Structure 1
Amino acid sequence: MKSIYQIKKIETTAEINQCWDVAYVLRPHLDKNNWNATIAEMMQNEKYSIAGIMDGDKVAAFAGYRIMTSLHSGNIIYIDDLCTLEAYRGKGFATQLLNHVKEVAISLNKEAVVLDTGFNNNTAQKVYLKNGFELVAVHLANRLKK
């Protein structure tokens, strides 16, 4: 029997916990013990939302995004995280999630959907360019030592 995939807004602690395996693929530096608390804080304080593509009760892919305003980009939705589990890649989930976030942005009358990606992440860049994103900036960071 073929699975039916659907996009679902992730809201509960149990749903957030189901996103861990996908998040860890993208962000292996994260600590699973702090995962739920970190996401709950982001949702409460930073207008962070997660849209997940579900395969039954399993999160196969997700996009984490926030509503924000910046002087350089305006009134936007910023995609922090977009990842698909290896076993589900090639099914168009990234495009589905990008379209979903774009629909959310349009419904909220936002000016743009913005994201950053790793400089050498050519696979992701091809997906973004295919989906109407343009290279408009270089993201720089100065890592502070602790």
Structure 2
Amino acid sequence: MLTQLHPGRLDEAGFLKIMLRLQGEPGYRVAGIEADGRVVACVAFRVTETLSYGRHICIEEIATLEAYRGRGFGLALMDYVRETGLKSGCSVLHLNSGLARTEARRFYHHYGMAITSFHFRMDIPVALRSSSPSSLANAQE
């Protein structure tokens, strides 16, 4: 279900391995909606706390199978996450949305969400992933 958000990035076994690990982390949750005998919409989110947002709830993944869109499943999942946030003492609900996901952003705007920041990204080359901390990190200590 959630693999449709990341086509070609993970096979099913890799996806399941990561999901099992994430579900062991504090505050990480997954919820879904079934119809016609299968999961047709799901959300992965976490309750966490940071200096910039305080206690907040972050949707990491949310998806509805294309054939089931427009039936209120996404709305029900968003409401569930928001209610979970309220019960958990969160003051903010946020998520990231890829640039190509115009339809999803339209849905988030309709739900009452606003674009309040930019998300920056930089790939880390494989050769650097296992090396020691950079001189910049050492200089900051």
- TM-score class normalised by the smaller sequence: 0.7 to 0.9
Q: Normalised by the size of structure 1, how large is the TM-score? A: 0.80
State the distance in 1 between where 2:13 and 2:24 align.
19
Larger Rg: 2
Residue number in structure 2 paired with 1:11: none
Structure 1 equivalent of residue 131 of structure 2: none
* CA shift for structure 1 position 31: 2.1
Asked if 1 retains the 8 angstrom alpha-carbon contact of 2:56 and 2:90, the reply is yes
Give 1:145 deviation, angstroms.
1.7
2:60 alignment counterpart = 80
SS across alignment from 1:45: coil
RMSD of Structure 2 on Structure 1 (CA):
1.3
> Unpaired segments of 5 or more residues in structure 2?
127-141
- Whole-angstrom distance in 2 between the partners of 1:24 and 1:120: 16
1:116 matched to 2:96: yes
Tell me the equivalent position of 1:59.
Answer: 39
Tell me the equivalent position of 2:134.
Answer: none
Offset of 1:46 from its aligned partner? 4.5
1:132 — aligned with what? 112
Aligned-partner Cα distance in 1 for 2:28–2:5: 17
Indicate the SS of the match to 2:24. helix
Question: 3-state DSSP class of the match of 2:83?
Answer: helix
Aligned residue for 1:25? 4
Number of aligned residue pairs: give it. Answer: 125
